[in-house]
Structure 1
Amino acid sequence: MLFPTFVFGAFFVVVFVVNWLTRPHPAVWRPLMLAASVVFYGWWSWRFVFLLLATIVINWVVGHYAAASLRASDTAIPRVGTTARWWVGLGVAANLTILGVFKYWDFFAVEMSNLLERFGISNALPVLEYTLPVGISFYTFQAMSYIIDIGRGNVREMAPLDFAVYLSFFPQLVAGPIVRASEMAPQLAARPDPRHVPAAEAFGLILNGLFKKVVISSFLASEIVDGVFADPGSHSGPEVALAVYAYAVQIYADFSGYTDIAIGVALLLGFRFPQNFDNPYRALTLQDFWRRWHMTLSRWLRDYLYVPLGGNRKGRANTYRNLMIVMLLGGLWHGSTWNFVIWGGIHGVVLAVERLVREQRERSGAPPILPPGWGEVVRWLVTFHVVCLAWVFFRSESLSAAVEMLGALANFGSYAGTATPLVIAVTFGALAFQFMPADWFEGLRDGFAGLGWVAQGAVVGVSLVAIDVLGPTGVAPFIYFQF
């Protein structure tokens, strides 16, 4: 993590108290919240604080001039619409350049070098070997959504300090969710009273996130996932299959756990973030999976890439092309290796096939192949295993490692002892939990909210101790910090 647990706890208490004291005074609150976010980010690396601040300045200036151009259009000045689009294009190019240099340049340089060497050409492109700035993909996408929405007339220009707080707000700075200006700006302007926040909901989210990360994700990583993916040939096929299922649970528990913590912390500070996960492993189609998994990224890719490319409005072939482009770029967003491209390609191909089959069946009016109930089971099994197949490439260190992992599924050698009853129970129990009724969770939340503050404090304290006891020694950083 960015902080050791006790340091982060102390940091948040200080920020919460400062928020409580200064929130009614925006002239004081905004600089202090910006400072807190800079300290939070700087704890990882002070060098990249300047990159974050530069991103804030560049995008606010671009947004300011794009908004000014649109305001000028009301006075019938010629070509102002073109000027606004020019500013938006400049801003998008600047953001992609920053992201490209720090995240993709070395990948491009190495691949170009390998390609040219096949033709006997020496490649002069340098390998920069930069450390990837944590969270750069998240805050860059937020910045682009702001300037694009200004160009579309969907949001108003934000004041400089408001925009700085929006882009650097520490709960979601390093791993999302991707919050849009249209969602954050009204809350910054409203200045909710920090004495009246949904504390029970917030603490419930934070505890749930900690349990998923510290207990579920870390346990599965240490007990089976890391070992099997490091050396799949030493494990039997059933153990390898279980490790793939366990990784599906691990990455969900890890990423949704961080999101729960971020949303809960933001709630305590008076802000409500959009939901980012909705039981994705209960999806019956891959399209439904992407409506439930990393929902803020899915909507970003839809609104700022898929729809501008033409969406499904320009014929079947273009629709399939657009799906592939979006998913391949979505894979690259996660990382600059061919494994992520293949991961996105698998999703793109299956999404296109799903759409093709659905359209053909709708045109032909063909009845369901399987009786009611069985059809849903088969669709769930297919969808879940497609997702797990793609996770193998997502998790593996290289393409050869992914191929080795898949090949080890047919390994009928000796049992290595990693598929313990507890690992099996945690993996499949976590998957079964996806199908729990929403009313059950709402009942728990309402019951916790109905307790007095002393009882709530006791529940939180006991829960934190239980999480600490159940979790393994040493907790790995959140997986999505690397993106």
Structure 2
Amino acid sequence: MLFPTLTFGLFFLATYAVIWGVGRANEWRKILLLLASWIFYGAWDWRFVALLIFSAFLNWGTAALIARTDEEYEPGRRKALLAFGVAANLGILGFFKYYDFFLEQLGLLLAHFGFERDMPLLEIILPVGVSFFTFQGMSYLIDVARRKVPPASLLDMTLLMSFFPHLVAGPIVRASDLIPQFRRTPKLERGMVAMGLLLIVWGLFKKAVIASELSVGLVDPVFFDPSAHSSLDLVIAAYGYAVQIYCDFSAYSDMAIGLAALLGYRFPYNFNQPYRARSLQDFWRRWHISLSSWLRDYLYISLGGSRGGLARACRNIMITMLLGGLWHGAKWTFLIWGGLHGIVQVLETLWRKLRPAGWPQLPAALAIVATFHIVTLGWIFFRADTFDGAIAFLDGIGRGDWGSTIATPLAIGLILFGMAIHFTPPTLAQGIAFRLRGVPAIWLGLATGVVILLIDAMRFEGVAPFIYYQF
């Protein structure tokens, strides 16, 4: 089920009515939410609901064993259990996401040395959101092992990993944020309702009107065949994709946060005006915050972080960003994208540590522009289907053909409008929600319905899946 569809709208309305209809029976509420989440996930492919349940049971059981192991007298057993749990999660992720990729690369390597073999490729179907719920499971295990969170009940743990608002594309909500909320009976506050509805319609607009039209009318045709388009078209398409992916992914996060709020739960925000970043490190503090903080806390720091000197810090940055790139998919283009971000962050770290005293810093406006264009360069590799496609795209920009055949005034207007809303102050939505909380529920509901109908009238044919569904 896609969020911006009538099917999901009816599903959510039914879920909303049932959940709030059970009164203060919190355990029943959670059971019903769990069943609704499995229906939501099963609408894509029922076979993988079993994988979701298995993953939840695996992490719950392993965490329970870790919690019962004495940290002082059985440190080896504790570490072994944690290693098993992490390896099991990585095994699930690796099998479904990387099995065929690594076998293909092995086949190419053997062929290079004259040992051609038919590799046992399985053409595995990738479960939607597998990267998100496996990372969620691993963070829970590590936090239990570090004694940052107590072990959760089986119901709470299963709901944590299955909760449909964030199940398939995040945010990666940690156990320390969500499980304490599951233990309390939620209350539907006017402020949460107003903010939830505002985020839902705002996300719907960004996805259905801006991201979808940029995708269909500009980005997809240009990236499909860069050689058929002028240099100007390619440059505009690169900017278009920067706006598209921001509007697409932030729209999903906004809608997920809004849906959770209407059900009585709070999710952390996932974006903070990332194109205002003054460096790549600043960008990753603003973009997909739940993933970047996950990589920092569970990978970068586990590798040693900045402890052990400048060289090790630079090494750990590169490893983190390369694996972060590979997390997005089994393609060389994602690895190159992560590598580019890693190299620039290493250079930033070296410059910050070794910059001669008294040298002026780059002006803020210039730093923002430079960072945005580095990020946009990386998006070309992120979006391209193949490495050759990305190189063809860059070669096309270098041709110097500055006529345009596809960049319509509508597309350019959407790019400019998308950048404008990106720079909207974050407090604006909070201020609007604060004013809306006094509006009677019936009028607030009617107004929301009217706005949704207006967005539906403005949107273009069809609804493309969210970009991050593939991860």
Q: TM-score range by the shorter chain?
A: over 0.9
3-state secondary structure, aligned to 1:400: helix
Residue in 1 aligned with 2:464? 476
Residue in 1 aligned with 2:423? 435
3-state secondary structure, aligned to 1:172: coil
Deviation, 1:457, is: 2.4
Cα distance in 1, alignment partners of residues 384 and 269 from structure 2 = 28
Residue in 2 aligned with 1:131? 125
Deviation, 1:237, is: 1.2
Q: Which runs of 5+ in 2 are unaligned?
A: none
Cα distance in 1, alignment partners of residues 156 and 443 from structure 2 = 37
- Give the residue type in structure 1 aligned to 2:411: V
Cα distance in 1, alignment partners of residues 143 and 361 from structure 2 = 44
Q: After superposition, give the CA deviation of every residue in 1:245-282 in whole Å (9 maximum; x if it has no partner).
A: 01001011111100111110000111101110011011
Residue in 1 aligned with 2:358? 366
Residue in 2 aligned with 1:189? 183
Moved more, 175-184 or 185-194: 185-194
Deviation, 1:140, is: 0.2
Moved more, 134-143 or 421-430: 421-430
Residue in 2 aligned with 1:399? 387
Cα distance in 1, alignment partners of residues 23 and 265 from structure 2 = 12
Residue in 1 aligned with 2:446? 458
3-state secondary structure, aligned to 1:198: helix
- Equivalent pair of 1:171/1:263 in contact (CA under 8 Å): yes
> 1:262 aligned to 2:256?
yes
Residue in 1 aligned with 2:55? 55
Deviation, 1:3, is: 6.9
- Equivalent pair of 2:191/2:437 in contact (CA under 8 Å): no
Deviation, 1:190, is: 1.4
> 1:154 aligned to 2:142?
no
Cα distance in 2, alignment partners of residues 356 and 152 from structure 1 = 31
Cα distance in 2, alignment partners of residues 414 and 185 from structure 1 = 55
Deviation, 1:439, is: 3.9
- Equivalent pair of 2:191/2:433 in contact (CA under 8 Å): no
- Give the residue type in structure 1 aligned to 2:365: V
Cα distance in 2, alignment partners of residues 338 and 444 from structure 1 = 43
Deviation, 1:232, is: 1.5
- Equivalent pair of 1:235/1:414 in contact (CA under 8 Å): no
Q: TM-score, normalised by structure 1?
A: 0.94
> 1:97 aligned to 2:91?
yes
Residue in 2 aligned with 1:207? 201
Residue in 2 aligned with 1:38? 38
Cα distance in 1, alignment partners of residues 81 and 174 from structure 2 = 19
Cα distance in 2, alignment partners of residues 61 and 197 from structure 1 = 37
- Give the residue type in structure 1 aligned to 2:268: P
Cα distance in 2, alignment partners of residues 411 and 171 from structure 1 = 45
Cα distance in 2, alignment partners of residues 360 and 165 from structure 1 = 48
Tell me how many residue pairs correspond in the alignment. 471
Cα distance in 1, alignment partners of residues 124 and 392 from structure 2 = 29
Identical aligned residues as a percent: 47
**Would the alpha carbon gap of residues 97 and 246 (structure 1) be closer, same or farther in structure 2, given more than 3 Å must change?**
same
Cα distance in 2, alignment partners of residues 56 and 28 from structure 1 = 19
Cα distance in 2, alignment partners of residues 87 and 392 from structure 1 = 41
Deviation, 1:462, is: 2.0
> 1:121 aligned to 2:109?
no
Q: How does 1:3-402 map to 2 (within 5 A)?
A: 5-22=5-22, 24-69=24-69, 72-73=70-71, 78=73, 80-123=74-117, 125-194=119-188, 198-361=192-355, 364-368=356-360, 375-402=363-390
- Give the residue type in structure 2 aligned to 1:47: R
Q: After superposition, give the CA deviation of every residue in 1:159-190 in whole Å (9 maximum; x if it has no partner).
A: 11111111100110000000110001110111
Cα distance in 1, alignment partners of residues 63 and 291 from structure 2 = 22
Deviation, 1:195, is: 6.5
**Would the alpha carbon gap of residues 18 and 317 (structure 1) be closer, same or farther in structure 2, given more than 3 Å must change?**
same
3-state secondary structure, aligned to 1:293: coil
Kindly report the root-mean-square deviation, in angstroms, between the aligned alpha carbons of the 2 structures.
Answer: 1.6
Q: After superposition, give the CA deviation of every residue in 1:351-393 in whole Å (9 maximum; x if it has no partner).
A: 00111112222xx2223166xxxx1121111100110000000
3-state secondary structure, aligned to 1:214: helix
Deviation, 1:124, is: 5.6
Cα distance in 2, alignment partners of residues 53 and 436 from structure 1 = 40
- Equivalent pair of 1:328/1:344 in contact (CA under 8 Å): yes
Cα distance in 1, alignment partners of residues 171 and 254 from structure 2 = 10
Deviation, 1:90, is: 0.4
- Give the residue type in structure 1 aligned to 2:350: L
- Give the residue type in structure 2 aligned to 1:170: F
Q: TM-score, normalised by structure 2?
A: 0.97
Cα distance in 1, alignment partners of residues 3 and 449 from structure 2 = 20
Cα distance in 2, alignment partners of residues 154 and 349 from structure 1 = 32
Deviation, 1:443, is: 2.9
> Which of 447, 463, 467 matches 2:455?
467
- Equivalent pair of 2:227/2:396 in contact (CA under 8 Å): yes
